[in-house]
A and B are shown apart, each in its own frame.
Chain A
């Protein structure tokens, strides 16, 4: 692994094969955790397939009605109208199935990223040691060019949706962790003290005080997770994840403006829709609603 070159290392002409070391370490990782990797692959593939079937099985008009209804409940009838028009446009551009494919990837990846990020964020908020250990890792995850993740995940999971989902989770998770940690730390210390002073146990304080008060900020983090997932999911087409990303990549390869721009527009529609829905949910957090009540 760290071969003999270290013996002939010349400080004036340094030549470290860092990339090779990482590759070697990764090989070892693959060999050692092979059974776990298989389980993860199966689980993600199954989850993706189920979600995609669910979203793509009904006729597109039915789905548009469902999306519009969600938009209405979460926001307003104006937003429902926008939803109908925008999603109808997607169908009209012939991007419907690919959009549902991409939406499945986003929802699955964002859900996994959120499920991992929130507990980690809470842990980091409670322990400064954890926070200090997690921070450089998050920095690394966020600043490493996103496409780089595709290489090892491709090796681990082969061509298809799974490496795309895993890469997306890694790339999209950091803001979820950061926002959660920040949100919990920002909760008014006096209110937390009030919980302690009346004898509440830490779990209860977390559940009844810290999480409800932190929820709007955590939701902002989830929004970031979704937006990053969306951008990553397009790149994931490079490893065969398909969907709208496939069209974008195809458009690029074929230098086809119509193909690329139609897929791009569909991505924008998905982004706006998801962003507004999540923002509306954040707005419904009990603490936000209570602050707005007027006689």
Chain B
């Protein structure tokens, strides 16, 4: 809550008033209802347009701004009620931040910038430069230690910002529109790097963005914000396939689904399956029943995909009196992992006469994607398909981040926020 009469505004909001109602008091409700928990090791994306309150929200998570009402827990510490000294302690040890416009100190070198958090933590000079250099190496800036920020491109500056946050050694990273100021190609590169770093570092990341494609690429879960309220929290697929309301639906209308939806989300149960461990007679029987000219040969117990058998081979094998199918299984079968995104299914699907087999990590058959299924999945989003030319790329790059918004709440797991109403005053 910003502005005058904040308390009165909060109680009005609790009784169901809208942000416009309280605006008449001269109060601005930036974050009104944002309750969520973030699990350790998760990338939690908060997505919303300018003025939706997301920048206010992230600033409440580390206490830069205080909510008027509501609580923010990091572990057991309530950030919203912590004193200045306690807050500084939490920021030093547990939570670091990456900024939209990098926020580097222009008069310090790259390595001094990367070591900034350690400097505040009181780490001695040799040690902090060593750790800062390691962090710089991690983000691909080895050898740039002694340059000044003015000598770096935007993408490199943000790598320094990232290195500074990593060097701090905190488990939680807040990223406020961290890649929004970068041009599309660099942005993509940074996203890839973040995903790759995350796979080894396993930080808890709260990422703010106005770019839906970015949210979809990065987020384990996505919270969609509008006018100070979180309107939906879910995985990328949940938000896409099951939007909570018209606003979210409209929002996701122009996302490139082929880059988000995975094979697992469109696959169907396999119809044509024969037991790879049984003989050709049983296979022939099954295929006749289903009127199939080819079938997947799958282990009956373990569901392991062995390959494909074709009708004429089965018939020959029966004539020859073979006892097993092994000799006629064609192992050169088009199979894809269940997490493969739709965009990557087109080529194998076009080449394969059979439906694509979808397998899990251990090569167990979990379903199939017939070409017609793939095409109809596409047809649902036909208006979007041409946008697939820059998949996940720039999205909407308009607009500065946010206007001040208002209260949020977060609460524990590692980080969690729960807000009923409220705001930062």
Residues of A within 8 A of B (CB): 188, 190-191, 193-201, 204, 208-209, 212-213, 285-287, 289-295
Contacts and interface: CB of A to CB of B under 8 A. Distances in A.
A190 B88 contact: no
Given A193-B64, A293-B151, A294-B151, A198 B91 contact: yes
B104 A191 contact: yes
Given A193-B64, A201-B88, A290 B117 contact: no
Given A199-B88, A290-B148, A193 B107 contact: no
Interface in B78-98: 88-93, 95-97
- Leading 9 A-B pairs by shortest Cβ distance: A199-B92, A199-B91, A194-B103, A286-B107, A197-B97, A287-B107, A190-B103, A290-B148, A198-B117
A97 to B, nearest CB: 42
B64 A197 contact: yes
Contacts of A289: 107
A288 to B, nearest CB: 8
A29 B168 CA distance: 56
Nearest to B93: A199
Given A198-B92, A199-B89, A199-B120, A290 B103 contact: no
Interface string B103-129: 111111000000011001100000000
Contacts of A190: 99-103
A35 to B, nearest CB: 40
Given A198-B92, A198-B168, A199-B89, A193 B120 contact: no
B107 A199 contact: no
22 contacts: A191-B104, A193-B99, A194-B97, A194-B116, A197-B174, A198-B92, A198-B164, A199-B91, A199-B92, A199-B93, A199-B117, A209-B105, A212-B105, A213-B106, A213-B107, A286-B107, A287-B107, A290-B107, A291-B106, A293-B147, A293-B151, A294-B151
A294 B151 CA distance: 6
B99 A194 contact: yes
Interface size class of B (residues with CB under 8 A): 20 to 34
A201 B117 CA distance: 12
A244 B189 CA distance: 66
Given A197-B96, A197-B97, 8 more contacts: A193-B97, A194-B97, A198-B168, A199-B93, A212-B105, A290-B108, A290-B150, A293-B150
Contact of B91 (A188, A196, A293): A196
Contacts of B99: 190, 193-194
Nearest to A208: B105
Contacts of B107: 212-213, 285-287, 289-290
A165 B317 CA distance: 114
A295 B152 CA distance: 10
Contacts of B88: 199-201
Interface of B: 59, 62, 64, 88-93, 95-97, 99-108, 116-117, 120-121, 147-151, 164, 168, 174
B121 A199 contact: yes
B120 A200 contact: yes
A199 B103 CA distance: 15
A95 B88 CA distance: 59
Contacts of B104: 191, 194
A198 B120 contact: yes
A198 B168 CA distance: 8
B279 to A, nearest CB: 68
A258 B89 CA distance: 70
A188 to B, nearest CB: 7
Nearest to A193: B64
A290 B64 contact: no
Contacts of B149: 290
B120 A191 contact: no
Nearest to A205: B120
A188 B103 contact: yes
A290 B91 contact: no
Nearest to A293: B148
Contacts of A212: 105, 107
A7 to B, nearest CB: 44
B292 to A, nearest CB: 62
Most buried by A among B107, B147, B148: B107
Contacts of B102: 190
Contacts of B103: 188, 190-191, 193-194
A264 B90 CA distance: 62
Nearest to B151: A293
Contacts of A292: 150
Contact of B97 (A198, A204, A286, A291): A198
Contacts of A200: 88, 120
A290 B89 contact: no
A82 B361 CA distance: 80
A245 to B, nearest CB: 40
Nearest to A294: B151
B120 A204 contact: yes
Contact of B64 (A196, A204, A285, A287): A196
Contacts of B150: 290-293
Contacts of A291: 106, 148, 150
Contacts of A213: 105-107
Nearest to A200: B120
